[in-house]
Amino acid sequence: MWKWALLIAVLVASATLWIWAPLRGPVRAGKRLDAPQVTKPGATFLIPVLLDTDIGTDIDDAFALALVMRSPELELLGVTTVSGNTEARARLAAKLLWESGFQFVPVAAGKRGKPLPQEQSRWADGFESPQIQQESAVDLLKDEIEQRPGKITLVAIGPLTNVAALLAREPETAHKLKRIVLMGGSIAHGYGQRLAPAAEYNIASDPQAAQAVFASGIPILMVPLDVTAMLELGPGGCHRVFAHLTNVTNSLTILYHLWDKPTPILFDPMAVALLIDPSLCETKPLAVRVDSKGFTRVGVGKPNATVALKTSPRKFFDFYMSRVAP
């Protein structure tokens, strides 16, 4: 019952925030003026990022995009969507950006895949915005990377189809990325309490794409199930986020109810968080190989990825809440 009462309160608050939005958050130089002023000591520059996401199926992609928008260290240059109905995903990402004051961020859809559950996409049915590009995801990635060679981090929190397509079509451009941060794979731990590796969803959805990415030679930070599968946002955490009543958290509340499952697991936000604060995880360089079933195996030879292997869930949630629901 509390879910619906909270949703009604959020809808009322959203309308109020929308009416007063022109007075609250002018956009200048790619950042809202009301973005949280939380910077690490000594940080004097922004990290330019591109986000590749399958937002709309699980809820954690929306939570990850929220963290990007609420982190002043990051400069979000563009969002691309992957897997399933990518156009619907693009509308969803664009609406979440729009409602949060990031109307200047371009969004582009990748190649359509087989139909998948995307309940959250209903929120953006009929939504139109000039930020949704006619060009493809690969075109948007190429354009942004070429403007800042060697500077951009690509954060991939869905299947690696778009990243592999960029490598295949524009290999020189792809190698101008500073690095790829990806949520995917499993080294020693699987889903839930399983103490055995699993074929993690993002990798197993397109193993050939993952093989191409890990063989590319581009620096990779891999954020696997070992440091994400335990990040359950329980009722107390959900209530804190949804009761915060900002444009960002109000949107998350609506998407959570459309998702209609009990407990979000914040797989994808960890990839964003670790980019900002490397102390959140213990990492190790490893030689990672992807097999045909989507398992990520550790082999011998030269490491091709820095892999996160251990974390403190409490430290992660403290970090996340300090940004999204302070």
Let me know if residue 229 belongs to a domain.
yes
The residue written with tokens 């993002």 in the block is: 202
179: pLDDT strictly greater than 80? yes
Domain, as residue range, for 107: 2-21+44-324
Domain contains 85:
yes
Q: How many domains does the chain have?
A: 1
Q: Is residue 30 part of a domain?
A: no
Q: CATH code at 91?
A: 3.90.245.10
The pTM (predicted TM-score) of the whole model is 0.89
pLDDT in tens, 81-94: 999 999 999 999 99
pLDDT of residue 31: 41
Residue 194 pLDDT: 80
**pLDDT higher than threshold 60 for residue 22:** no
Residue 209 within any structural domain of the chain: yes
pLDDT of res. 248: 98
Q: Which of 238, 279, 280, 278 is nearest to 257 (CA)?
A: 238
Asked if residue 276 belongs to a domain, the reply is yes
Question: Over the stretch 128-169, which tens digit does the pLDDT of each residue have?
Answer: 999 999 999 999 999 999 999 999 999 999 999 999 999 999
pLDDT tens readout for residues 107-118: 999 999 988 888
Residue 169: CB atoms within 10 Å: 14
| pLDDT score for 260 | 87
Interatomic CA distance for residues 223 and 237, integer angstroms: 22
Residue 66 scores a pLDDT above 80: yes
Q: How far apart are the first and last CA of the chain?
A: 25
Is 172 a domain residue? yes
Mean pLDDT in the chain? 90
